[in-house]
Amino acid sequence: MEIWHPFTQHGLNEDIIEIDTSYDEFLITKSGEKIIDGISSWWVNTLGHKNPNISKAIKNETGKLHQIIFAGFVHNPAKNVAKNLSKFLPNDYSHIFFSDSGSTSVEVALKMAVGYHFNNGKNKSKIVAMEHSYHGDTFGGMSSGARSVFNEPYTKMLFDVEHIPYPAPGKEEITIDVYKKLLQKEGDKISAIILEPLVLGSGGMFFYKPFVIEELYKLSKEYDVIFALDEVMTGFGRTGTMFAFNQTNIIPDIICLSKGLTGGSIPLAATVCKKEIYDAYLSNDKAKMFFHSSSYTANPIACAAANANLEIWQNTDVLADVKRINNFYHSQFERFKNHPVQNIRALGDIFAFEVEHSGNNYTSNTGTKLYNFYRKNGILLRPLGNTIYVMPPYCIKEESLNKIFDTVEASLQKCL
Ligand SMILES: *Cc1c(COP(=O)(O)O)cnc(C)c1O
C-alpha cells in the first residue's frame, strides 16, 4: 500500500520529499539537505520546529496519561488549557469545547450556533460566510468556504450558505451593505456568520480592515446572529496580535482555534464561546445537550503541548519576533518595485504579492514552476495560484529571511 498525499496530484509525479528531522525554521531531509520552512508547515508551526519546552511537556505527559473518554471525565491538562487560555481572552468567554482539527473546530462552531437558536425555539439555521474564504475540508467547512476547484465534485451536496463579498481595500462599504440587506431580507432565518478575521488564507492571503469586522458584528447583534471568527490560521500571533480580533473593539461570540494552539506540534482544536450560547444548552432535558464529540477530544498529550505553548506566550514576548519579521518585510518592499508583481503587502508574520502573467487560479502552472524553483534552492514556499506568500515560524533568523527573499526575487526572473 502506498501513501495518498493531501492536495497532491500524484499523476504529475510530484517529488515527495522525505523529512527525517526538524528544528527551528528548518526541515532536514533524509539525505541531509536543510530546507527553510517558509510557510510554517502549512501554517501550524508558530514558535519553531521541535520547541524544547513543548517537546518536554509532551514527553512528560506520555508517562502519565494517553487518551481517556471525555464525557463524564476530565484531566488536569484539559483544565489547565481552559485556565491558561482564559488569561489571553476577555472574560466574556465562559466555555471551551475541544476537538482535534481546525475543520472540526469550525463544525463545532456551526453546530453550536444553529443548536443555540434551536434550543431557544427559533428556526434560524442559515449560515453566512465570506467570498474566497476557507474553513476546512469537511462538509460544513466546504459549505461555508468558497466554491472552487477544491470542492467542485461535491457542490450539490454542500448546504446553502450566503456569501458576502470580500471587503477589498476601498470597497468595504459594499460588503457591509450587502450584509445589511441580507439581514433585512432574511435575518430571522440566519443563525450565524463565520469569518476568517483580517486575512483570507487559502483564498489567496487577501487582507481586510478591522473596522469591517466591527461593522459586521454590530449588524449581527441587531438580528440575533451568532458572530463566529475562524482564528484557526490567524490565532497565535500570525497577524501581529495574539488573535486577529484583538485588533478590533468587538468580542466575537465564538472563536475557533487550532493550528498554533500547540505551537504546531500535535493536533488539538478548541471552540470557545460566550455564556449565552452555553446557557442555551443548559437544561434538565437531555435532548438539549450539545450532541458532538471527537473520539480524541481533549487528548491529554495535546493539551500538555498547548499548555507548554501558552506558558511560552505568558513568559516571553513572542510578538516581538513577529514585529521583527514584519519590519524585515517592510524593508523588502523596495526590491520588488521593478518586477511584474502587484499588491505587495504584509500583516504580522504574513508577506504576500501576486505575480502577473499567469492564470489566476490555484491550478495554474506558474505556481508549480515557482514551487519547484524554491524547492531546488532549499526553500519551502507553496504559492497559492499566482499569490506568492511567506509565513515562517517566528524564530526564523535574519539569514534565513534573506535567503527566502533573495530566492523569491530570483524566481521572478527565472520562472515567469
Ligand atoms: C487550516 C484552516 C482550517 C482547517 O484546519 P484543519 O486543521 O486543516 O482541519 C480551517 N480554517 C482556517 C481559516 C484554516 O486556515
What residues flank ligand 1, with Cβ below 6 Å?
101-103, 106, 134-136, 196, 201, 230, 232-233, 258
Q: What is the per-residue pLDDT for 363?
A: 62
Q: Which three cell numbers stand for residue 46?
A: 508558530
- Each residue of 251-298: pLDDT tens digit? 999 999 999 999 999 999 999 999 999 999 999 999 999 999 999 999
Q: How confident is the model at residue 362 (pLDDT cuts 50, 70, 90)?
A: low
Question: Distance, CA 261 to ligand 1 centroid (Å)?
Answer: 12
Determine what percent of the chain is predicted with pLDDT higher than 70.
98
* Cα 235 to middle of ligand 1, angstroms: 11
Probe residue for ligand 1, chosen from 46, 100, 104, 106 as the CB with the greatest number of ligand atoms within 8 Å = 106
What pLDDT is stored for residue 150 in this prediction? 86
Closest protein CA for atom 15 of ligand 1: 233
Burial class (CB in 10 A: 0-12, 13-18, 19+), 118: middle
CA of 200 to the centre of ligand 1 (A): 11
| CA-259 nearest atom, ligand 1 | 7
pLDDT at 359 over 70: no
The string of pLDDT tens digits covering residues 382-403 is 999 899 999 999 999 999 999 9
Cα 70 to Cα 294: distance, rounded to the nearest angstrom: 9
Which pLDDT band, with edges at 50, 70 and 90, does 357 fall under? low
- Residue 230 Cα: closest atom of ligand 1: 13
Residue 366: predicted pLDDT: 86
Displacement of CA 386 from its chain's centroid (Å): 20
Contact call for residues 286 and 249 (beta carbons, < 8 A): no
Q: What are phi and psi of 96, to 5 degrees?
A: -125, 130
- Ligand 1 centre distance from Cα of residue 202 (Å): 9
* C-alpha–C-alpha distance, residues 386 and 110, integer Å: 31
Q: Give a three-class secondary structure readout of the chain.
A: CCCCCCCCCHHHCCCCCCEEEEEECEEEECCCCEEEECCHHHHCCCCCECCHHHHHHHHHHHCCCCCCCCCCCCCHHHHHHHHHHHCCCCCCEEEEEEECCHHHHHHHHHHHHHHHHHHCCCCCCEEEEECCCCCCCCHHHHHHCCCCCCCHHHHHHCCCEEEECCCCCCCHHHHHHHHHHHHHHHHHHEEEEEECCCEECCCCCEECCHHHHHHHHHHHHHCCCEEEEECCCCCCCCCCCCCHHHHCCCCCCEEEECHHHHCCCCCCEEEEEEHHHHHHHCCCCHHHCCCCCCCCCCCHHHHHHHHHHHHHHHHCCHHHHHHHHHHHHHHHHHHHCCCCEEEEEEECCEEEEEECCCCCCCCCHHHHHHHHHHHHCCEECCCECCEEEECCCCCCCHHHHHHHHHHHHHHHHHCC
Contact 98, 297 (CB under 8 A): yes
Cβ neighbours of 307 (radius 10 Å): 24
Q: How far does the centroid of ligand 1 lie from the alpha carbon of residue 32, in Å?
A: 31
Task: Give residue-wise pLDDT tens across range 61-103.
Answer: 999 999 999 999 999 999 999 999 999 999 999 999 999 999 9
Q: What is the residue with the minimal CA distance to atom 6 of ligand 1?
A: 102
- In this predicted model, what pLDDT tens digit does every residue of 204-236 receive, in sequence order? 999 999 999 999 999 999 999 999 999 999 999
pLDDT tens figures, 234-246: 999 999 999 999 9
CA–CA gap between residue 275 and residue 272 (Å, rounded): 10
203 closest CA partner among 387, 368, 408, 8: 387
In the block, cell 459594499 appears at 174
Q: What is the pLDDT of residue 358?
A: 53
Instruction: Report which of 198, 224, 216 is spatially closest to residue 345, judged by C-alpha positions.
Output: 198
Closest ligand 1 atom to Cα of 258: 7
Q: Which atom of ligand 1 is nearest to the CA of 101?
A: 7
Q: Does the pLDDT of residue 14 top 90, yes or no?
A: no
What's the pLDDT band for 365 if we cut at 50, 70, 90? confident
Indicate the pLDDT class of residue 360, thresholds 50, 70 and 90.
low
What separation in Å is there between the alpha carbon of 141 and the centre of ligand 1?
9
Res. 51: pLDDT tops 80: yes
- Residue 148 binned pLDDT confidence (cut-offs 50, 70, 90): confident
Count of CB atoms situated within 10 Å of the CB of 76: 14
Measured from the CA of 138, which atom of ligand 1 is nearest? Answer: 9
Q: Is the pTM of this model over 0.85?
A: yes
